[in-house]
Structure 1
Amino acid sequence: MNALIDDYLTNADRFSAVVDAAGDWTAPSPCEGWTARDVVDHVVDSQRDFLSRQDLDAGSRPTGDPQRVWRAHLDGVRLSWRTTQPSRGSTTATSAGPRWPRR
C-alpha cells in the first residue's frame, strides 16, 4: 500500500480503540450538540462521501450500533482498496487523500 493509506489505517486503528472504549452512545461529545453516536455517524458518512467521489465503493452503509457501524465501514474501506487499487494503477497524493487515476 502507499503512505496515505498506511496513515489512514493507523488513524483508523486509533479511532477504533476510541469506539471500542465508548459505553454510552447518547453521551455528549466535545462537539457541541453532538452525541458520541453522532460523531461516529459523521466520520463514517464523511469518509463514504469522499470514497464515492473517488469512484470507490465501500458497500452499503452499515446500520446498527455505532461500534458495528464503524467496524463494518472500515472493513468496506479496506475491501474497496484491495479490490480497486490494483486495476487502477498507482495512486497520487493530494491534500485530500489518495486519488486513483480515472480509466
Structure 2
Amino acid sequence: MTTPARRCRARGCSLVLLIGLALSAGCTWRSAPTRFYVLAEVPRSTAAARSAEAGRGPTLGVGPITLPGYLERANIVTRRGEELDVADYDRWGEPLSDSV
C-alpha cells in the first residue's frame, strides 16, 4: 500500500530522471561540420601559356580590387539579386581580400 508521501516522492524522482535524460540528449547533439574553402588560380590554356612565354600578345593587368563590405567575413556569402545568404558551415580558409 502506497502512501501519498511515497507517491509524491516517486513522481519527483521520475521528473528528475526525465529532466536528466532530456538534458543528456541535448548534450549529444552534433552540428554539421564546418567546411573551409580557398580560391585557386585557374590553370592557363596551353595556347595562352605559349603566347605568354613567347612574349607575344597583349598583357592585361587588373587592379586594385575592392570587395563589398558584406564579403569581409569568415562565412561564405552568396547574393541573389537584393538578397544575401550567409552560409552557416561554409567558411573561407583565409580572408577573402588576401585571396583576390
TM norm. shorter chain > 0.5: no
Indicate the structure whose relative CO is greater, using CA pairs within 8 Å and at least 6 residues apart. Answer: 2
TM-score, normalization by structure 1:
0.24
Return the TM-score normalized by structure 2: 0.24
Q: Whose helix proportion is higher, 1 or 2?
A: 1
Q: Which of 1 and 2 has greater Rg?
A: 2
